[in-house]
Structure 1
Amino acid sequence: MTEVIVVGAGPTGLLLAGDLAEAGVAVTVLERRDGEISNLSRAFVVHARTLEQLDARGLAEALTDTGTVLDGLRLFGRVRVDLSMLPSRFPHLVVTPQYNVERLLLERALRAGAEVVHNAEVVGLSQDGAGVTVTTNGGTYRAAYVVGADGMRSAVRHLVGLPFPGRSVLRSIMLADVKVAREPDQVLTADAVGDAFAFIAPFGDGYHRVFAWDRRRILPDDAPLALDEVREATRRALGDDFGMHDPRWLSRFHSDERQAPRYRVGRVFLAGDAAHVHSPAGGMGMNTGLQDAANLGWKLAAALRGAPDALLDSYQDERHPVGRSVLHTSGAIVRVALVRSSVGRVLRGLLGQGALAVPAVRARAAGRISGVGFAYRAPAGAHRLVGTRAPDVRLAGGGRLYEALRGGRFVLVGDADVTGWEDRVRVAGHAGPGGSAVLVRPDGHVGWAGTDAAGLRRALTALAGAPMSRSEVPHA
């Protein structure tokens, strides 16, 4: 029987499915679209924390090879967020279309044994104390848990009765795939002048993706769109339309700010755009969803091995505040970007540059946008490291921490007895100052730290599930 059903084969659902399959969990992905990966993706930026998560899955280098590396993000005018000083192996972002992320994650999930069912539209869902039944247009499926990673219009969220409060931030955003006669000076070009904004980035196949918005032409999403309208808004925002021509796709959409009040209803969970949607400012939407998946996958695997139900509640406790923070950050960026008066735009530039000249402000801004700056709240009385993001340290005996995390196992940095958890915990390196050991979770956050052997075993039971019996422990 399938143990977990993931609804949605976008980046969030595919990373989650791959994590579960690598952990030995039987997982089925239900996707309403056909099997072709669409090039109509809106996400183009992969940030440092997401690259760290992909590194822990052996995919970071392959993804980087598909795009362009930038050590900063220009939000508007002269205001630039410097990423080069991030405390990460990836002090940069990668500009690459979302479909490259999906392709790599799909290949990984299939290699690990995940089943992906296409043309499967979810139309019904019910749950009881033993599991969840999902009905699609082509059949019925049963699993212990279900994760809705099915986007802003999530059928799963609707079927469990969760609201999606919020509002539309920008209506009638124009989206176009075009060729250009003149390449922009920067790989990722974006600016706003109050009544218009535009963003342009290369696909890598000769086409560029353009997002443009004109305050003076707010039309329904299904209103016809001509290339001249895109050109005009881009000229006003960027000073040049770069000789756009030969569009292969033109459309309108609207951008919302919304967040579900809960990410869990019984045995059903929400992740990615099904749980939260943000303005496109800062390029944080897809990244936040991928990090949701990285947080949830190992917890579901542990719950299926007997970890307490409270571990699954921690998904809400840890990821809901992050989603709320990203919503506030991206919303603030877009509101400042769309200041209408020329005086306001001058002040925006001066104040932005001045604030980012302060090291603490610069580091906080880079940490929030990149995702590297987020830590989870530790339980009362826990070691100060618990919940923090673990840096990619070199391990005694060779190798890096995030290489050791590959395969979805915990990594214990220190010398301690993990008998019973050998299948889930890799012991790497020697104890730190004072003889302390650090248990790093599969998502790269610290789960426990200390010197108490009994405390480590309690933490392992709570985080990784019940230990193997003596008969199950492998012998040398």
Structure 2
Amino acid sequence: MQHTKTDTDVLVVGAGPTGLLLAGDLAASGLRVTLVERRPHGISNMTRAFAVHARTLELLDARDLADELVKTGTPLSGTRLFGRLSLDLSRLASRFPFLLITPQYEVERLLERRAQEAGVEFRYATELRGLRQDADTVTAELADPDGHVTALTARYLVGTDGLRSAVRTALGLPFPGVSVIRSIVLADVRLAQEPESLLTVNGAGDTFAFIAPFGDGWYRVMGWNRTRQVPDTEPVEIDEIREIARQAFGTDYGMHDARWISRFHSDERQAPAYRSGRVFLAGDAAHVHSPAGGQGMNTGLQDAANLSWKLTSVLRGDAADPEALLDSYQSERHPVAATVLRSSGAIIRLAMAHTPLQRAGRALLTRFLNSARPATDKVMGMISGIGIGYGAGPAAHRTGGHRAPDAELVGGRLYELLREGAFVLVTPQGTELTPPGAPKTPGRVATAAWADPARRTAMLVRPDGYVFWETRIPASA
């Protein structure tokens, strides 16, 4: 099949975590990738993300980055919410049974390095001014700092450019939703007194707040005061955060030396469509939600892992039905983000409870979750991403299922083998088979056997770590 000549295979707009992971995946598979970012290179993207969940660490493990990232932060194996609800993350069935507290810039640093090593072409201080597409290509109008506009043509374009996405705007896509909470204050501070638990969350009176350690002597503090609702542009000083902490916790832990302070509001929004022709949305360009649960960056990174292998399969000619495969990005990821909107919204509303009836309802819910381990495990599974799966469609179009846990194979682990960026076929020892729907291109399927000789399952795992196909092999086979 002949294709129109293009400047790049995929143009990614936005060099936050989502765009960096996506671009790195595509380039590592041998595709030409251009990544444009409005910010100049080296300008810190000081954002609110600070938590990396277990499923995201598994995806980073499949890119040989997780262990290095863990060294930059503080793993939390449990937390207590609202002074009553205990979450024991050590029960997560993962190599990473914890929540990693580390600033977003550490995630970006590793992903940027990987993308550079894979050959991504970076264009910083470059702004998308418009785009147009036809049956074969997408053409983007890109402006440099002097305002000079040039055209770049790609096979596909992905907007990972955040809440105020220029890509989404250029497509004319709506971004319906509401502002769920206003005048949240954030700060990175030092403390004279260490909190009683590593992740401290509480609400009292008209306030709620949380404190989490980065592990290097700095703490991230978030607070909200119902009686002080002001615009994002209103200056914020450390005394305001101290006062919120004193009301929520009974102490401000001796906060001092704030290196960063910000005021923001939190929206709940989701684009109805993540795809328009040859253009896709991912991360905050597709969905935003409250910071409760720390799921925003994690959801975006998982968007990227889902989309990257599908674009790779289509561009390499491996997909039996390219359009159905690309459409599955929407059908798989849109419901996940909708669930995150609901769960993060529920957490923030519980934290904001202030009437006697609301607080009684919160107390009743937390007592139930504390006593009902299956329900608590389900909550932890969804927030951590470990419990997320994709519904399998008809056999002819099946693209996914449940998450594949890491497992010992002959010669290594499953997620070490996933670092090749290919499908992984795992079979019982001494078994050879060709699974239905496996890519035909040489090198797109890695093979291995279970380390446990008694295991009789055969499984084809997608590059994003979800099961594509599985069956049981009789012992006589």
- TM-score, scaled relative to structure 2: 0.90
Matched residues in 2 for 1:319 and 1:235: separation?
40
Structure 1 counterpart of 2:425, which letter?
Answer: L
Match of 2:163 in 1: 152
SS at match of 1:251: strand
Partner residue of 1:320 out of 334, 353, 369: 334
CA displacement, residues 136-176 of structure 1 (integer Å, 9 cap, x when unaligned):
21232111001100011111011111101000011111122
Deviation at 1:101, TM superposition (A): 0.6
Deviation at 1:343, TM superposition (A): 6.3
Deviation at 1:259, TM superposition (A): 0.4
Residue 404 in 1 paired to residue 417 in 2? yes
Residue 9 in 1 paired to residue 15 in 2? yes
Q: Is the 8 A contact 2:205 2:247 kept in 1?
A: no
Deviation at 1:10, TM superposition (A): 0.6
Q: Is the 8 A contact 2:85 2:369 kept in 1?
A: no
Match of 1:446 in 2: 467
Does 118-127 or 241-250 show the bigger shift?
Answer: 241-250
Matched residues in 1 for 2:420 and 2:204: separation?
47
Alignment of 1:368-447 (within 5 A): 368-381=382-395, 386-395=400-409, 397-414=410-427, 415-417=432-434, 420-429=440-449, 437-447=458-468
Structure 1 counterpart of 2:245, which letter?
Answer: T
Matched residues in 2 for 1:62 and 1:11: separation?
16
Gaps of 5+ in 1: 453-476
SS at match of 2:387: coil
Partner residue of 1:299 out of 290, 305, 310: 310
Structure 1 counterpart of 2:415, which letter?
Answer: Y
Matched residues in 1 for 2:24 and 2:250: separation?
44
Deviation at 1:356, TM superposition (A): 3.2
Partner residue of 2:380 out of 366, 370, 389: 366
Alignment of 1:72-91 (within 5 A): 72-91=78-97
Partner residue of 2:273 out of 242, 248, 262: 262
Matched residues in 2 for 1:69 and 1:247: separation?
23
Matched residues in 2 for 1:48 and 1:291: separation?
12
Deviation at 1:357, TM superposition (A): 2.1
SS at match of 1:428: strand
Match of 1:456 in 2: none
Match of 1:180 in 2: 191
Deviation at 1:33, TM superposition (A): 0.6
Deviation at 1:39, TM superposition (A): 6.1
Matched residues in 2 for 1:298 and 1:381: separation?
20
Q: Is the 8 A contact 1:364 1:373 kept in 2?
A: yes
CA displacement, residues 394-415 of structure 1 (integer Å, 9 cap, x when unaligned):
11x2211111100211101122
Matched residues in 2 for 1:172 and 1:83: separation?
30
Residue 53 in 1 paired to residue 82 in 2? no
Deviation at 1:201, TM superposition (A): 2.4
Q: Count how many residue pairs are aligned between Structure 1 and Structure 2.
A: 451
Matched residues in 2 for 1:311 and 1:387: separation?
14
SS at match of 1:84: helix
Does 433-442 or 59-68 show the bigger shift?
Answer: 433-442
Structure 2 counterpart of 1:427, which letter?
Answer: T
Deviation at 1:123, TM superposition (A): 1.1
Q: 1:108 to 1:149 in 2, by over 3 A?
A: same
Alignment of 1:84-163 (within 5 A): 84-138=90-144, 139-163=150-174
Matched residues in 2 for 1:9 and 1:319: separation?
20
Q: Is the 8 A contact 2:79 2:200 kept in 1?
A: no
Residue 67 in 1 paired to residue 73 in 2? yes
SS at match of 2:419: coil
Q: Is the 8 A contact 1:11 1:290 kept in 2?
A: yes
CA displacement, residues 370-419 of structure 1 (integer Å, 9 cap, x when unaligned):
01101101013589995111111111x22111111002111011222479
Q: CA RMSD in A?
A: 2.3
Matched residues in 2 for 1:109 and 1:157: separation?
24
SS at match of 2:59: helix
Q: Is the 8 A contact 2:74 2:214 kept in 1?
A: no
Q: 1:149 to 1:106 in 2, by over 3 A?
A: same
Q: 1:448 to 1:340 in 2, by over 3 A?
A: same
Q: Is the 8 A contact 1:175 1:212 kept in 2?
A: yes
Matched residues in 1 for 2:419 and 2:378: separation?
29
Gaps of 5+ in 2: 1-6, 145-149
Q: 1:433 to 1:422 in 2, by over 3 A?
A: farther
Residue 353 in 1 paired to residue 367 in 2? yes
Deviation at 1:434, TM superposition (A): 10
